[in-house]
Chains A and B, each alone.
Chain A
């Protein structure tokens, strides 16, 4: 199959329990080595196969993982802590080796298991860009060519010649993510690193991931953010106890995962909501949102930011299969993706060119001052939880107070009699 990006066949990984937590001391090994023959003899007498009957306890972090990813796909991997998500990514990144099975990756692999791997606090931002780039597998000439772009993306131009130990943590991750985002990879393995920076930068990172994907980059995304899975992925795998329990539509994988969260360890796993289904991905990558913009409605601040009682006019165009039917979704979320409100349109059809023009108005935002993300998305008509594509814009609501005080703002007219004004006649 020529458009294959990743193929895993029966990948399994066994760990010795405790091996990861502590290192052995030479003395232990020596005593172990000295007593080994005796244990072996005893085991043989007991009818064992020569290996110690009660050998080192082991666990299978991954068992029989098989899946294929096509080029240009965005695959989300979800699962509870310890389900084996990171182990899988480590095997695909060639950091650790599988105990059994095989995996093949076609294309240059970029893995982002951590933001800023190899950053040295004493080196300047500029030096770290080069060092980190080299560590991630870029050539020096390639880094030099992209240097300005990397720095511009990170927005730390002013401090680029300052040692990164003087950076704020936000600046640090922004610079680190920028280097990684400019890696020329065909296959990108990403582990939870997108939870970086402030709202605006988060949105920028997500958009970058989407744009990389539009350029044909295959992406494997390990995440705990269901919102990320919904907006960025076309397909998701849910892992549990080192096995693939669900492989198919993101919404169904999320449903399965949420079922898992309700059960506790040892209880029976939830029944599959539906059989793995990949038919829904037939039109993968065909939809996109373009010309996404926001304009004031009502009164905005002089700085061009909306106020709590301002309105917002949202316009975007959607590109999709000619004559196909979708629902449009507008959603406002917190910087981390917690939804505040959503509005879903009735089903609409694209014209013969495959485009839809949409304009929508929110009369009053009713949001407390603070940072937000505005999402526009195309959803499937059959199941509106199934997002075909999404795009986001960060925005800030201005005014006194902040989001910490409350989730929503509302207009309140006060009618109170002030004792001082009435002269204290009572």
Chain B
């Protein structure tokens, strides 16, 4: 004897008592008018989504690759080897008294962090088109997640540096305590530029072709393969207009502690990053109104 019956639904206690209208959240939808506030409070409400997106990017990054997370080590290590051979050995580029491999690797670490974060974040909005056209959430979550997901690769690559420093017998000084600040500066630099590029990328896909080229040029404009001491003293604050100059020299100073502290240059770099970042945040917020229509 068979009896089919309709599904019985458990009533969710939270929903069962309909809250009075006064207690309900109110969503006001108004036409978008130019510049708007950053609404960082809402961003904070969506912090779990941010963590989930970062977690997704990390989880998915090396799926279906043969070498997996080894990629995070291979890229900076090979760059370091090539740099040491051609710039260190053959071209005899000075390295401020630090063994050239350590000199180069100290710079390649923040550089790779920056370059990957920039590539990820500037492509992030377009890559998450489906989310943007189907679900509401603060759009800023997307480029921020793109930037932060690169930190895991950075941590993996960092382990090689410890090995290198042991190999060359370099003992870090107290300055290593300042390293997190320089990591933060590298992240913020990538985010500042990434915000502009990701918003521009929605309307102008030219950005896609620009980023690779830009990173390449930027590498040579930054003291990765050479020390900033090659730049005349009085021009150094100007050199700091490239925020990565401050980041890279800051890394060397924090890790090895032999080079002089990048004072004026660093100050200029920080100022530039903050300007770019605040401008980028507002620009992104202004452009995000049209993302779903244009993407």
Contacts and interface: CB of A to CB of B under 8 A. Distances in A.
A293 B3 contact: yes
Given A25-B206, A111-B135, A140-B48, A96 B292 contact: yes
A123 B60 CA distance: 7
Contacts of B32: 97
Contact of B131 (A123, A135, A296): A135
A123 B2 CA distance: 39
Contacts of B9: 207-208, 211
Interface in B157-172: none
B204 A92 contact: no
A103 B26 CA distance: 10
Given A4-B21, A122-B64, A23 B137 contact: no
Given A20-B294, A304-B1, 9 more contacts: A25-B205, A26-B204, A95-B133, A96-B293, A102-B30, A135-B52, A215-B12, A292-B5, A305-B2
Contacts of B63: 122
Contact of B59 (A127, A212, A394): A127
Given A104-B26, A118-B130, A135-B137, A207 B48 contact: no
A149 B9 CA distance: 11
Interface string B130-152: 11111111000000000000000
Closest 9 interchain pairs by CB?
Answer: A304-B2, A211-B9, A216-B18, A103-B29, A97-B32, A134-B52, A94-B136, A105-B27, A122-B63
B137 A123 contact: no
Given A25-B205, A207-B7, A215-B11, A137 B137 contact: yes
Nearest to A97: B32
B41 interface: no
Interface in B193-226: 202-206
B40 interface: no
A354 interface: no
A391 interface: yes
Contacts of A184: 12, 14-15
B4 interface: yes
Given A19-B293, A95-B292, A104 B2 contact: no
Interface string A347-382: 000000000000000000000000000000000000
Nearest to A95: B292
Interface in B2-59: 2-7, 9-12, 14-16, 18-22, 24-32, 48-49, 52, 56, 59
A404 B293 CA distance: 42
A130 B48 CA distance: 11
Contacts of B19: 107, 186
A32 interface: no
Interface residues of B, number: 54
B60 A117 contact: no
A100 interface: yes
A127 B55 CA distance: 10
Count class of interface residues, chain A? 35 or more
A392 B294 CA distance: 42
Interface in A98-154: 98-109, 111, 113-114, 117-118, 120, 122-123, 127, 130-131, 134-137, 139-140, 149
Given A20-B293, A102-B29, A103-B29, A117 B203 contact: no
Nearest to B16: A215
A113 B135 contact: yes
A358 to B, nearest CB: 14
A103 B28 CA distance: 6
B2 A2 contact: no
A393 B6 contact: yes
Interface in B265-282: none
A24 interface: yes
A71 interface: yes
27 contacts: A15-B293, A23-B203, A23-B205, A25-B205, A94-B29, A97-B32, A102-B28, A106-B24, A106-B26, A113-B133, A113-B134, A117-B131, A118-B135, A122-B60, A131-B52, A134-B49, A134-B52, A135-B135, A139-B48, A207-B7, A208-B9, A212-B15, A216-B15, A295-B1, A304-B2, A305-B2, A393-B5
A330 interface: no
Interface in B239-271: none
A386 interface: no
Given A123-B60, A216-B18, A393 B28 contact: no
Contacts of A135: 49, 52, 131, 135, 137
A112 to B, nearest CB: 9
B289 interface: yes
Contacts of B134: 95, 113-114, 117
Contacts of B289: 97
B6 A391 contact: yes
A217 interface: yes
A63 B243 CA distance: 49
Contact of A296 (B1, B135, B203, B206): B1
Most buried by A among B1, B15, B49, B135: B135
A102 B137 CA distance: 19
Interface in B45-86: 48-49, 52, 56, 59-60, 63-64
Nearest to A303: B2
Given A23-B203, A117-B135, A118-B135, A107 B56 contact: no
